[in-house]
Amino acid sequence: MDAAEILQQVLQHCGLSKSQLCTRARISRSTLDEYLRGKKQPAYAQLVRIADAAGMQLSVSVAPRRRAMPEQFRLVLEFGEMFPRKEREPLVDLSPIWRRAAS
């Protein structure tokens, strides 16, 4: 979500006009309009001040971004699932040697 979307939500939920919000946040109307159009990006502190002026609280969360698995890799994994894994015997049976060494 970008700053313009955040400010649109603030305006929708606060019940104030743009002019009223600007007066309370101590910013010019043209600055708010530039933020809303995405022509300028406000600093985080500015967003907090605008939300506070609207009687709202701005919160931010941080989480790792999930990376999309490439389609070719997914296809390879699916192909590998077609063949069940077989248990294999060891190439050389060393149990007689271990028994002799232990006795």
> Domain range spanning residue 11?
3-53
66, part of any domain: no
> How does pLDDT run across 71-96, given as a tens digit for each residue?
888 888 888 888 877 787 777 888 88
Rg of the chain on CA atoms, in Å: 31
> Is 27:20 a contact under the CB 8 Å cutoff?
no
49, part of any domain: yes
Question: DSSP assignment, residue 64?
Answer: P
29, part of any domain: yes
30, part of any domain: yes
Residue-wise DSSP of 53-67: HTT--------PPPP
User: The pTM is what?
Assistant: 0.60
What token pair was written down for 98?
Answer: 């271990």
95, part of any domain: no
Question: DSSP assignment, residue 45?
Answer: H
The pLDDT value given to residue 51: 95
Q: For the chain, what is the domain count?
A: 1
Any idea what the CATH number is for the domain that residue 26 is in?
1.10.260.40
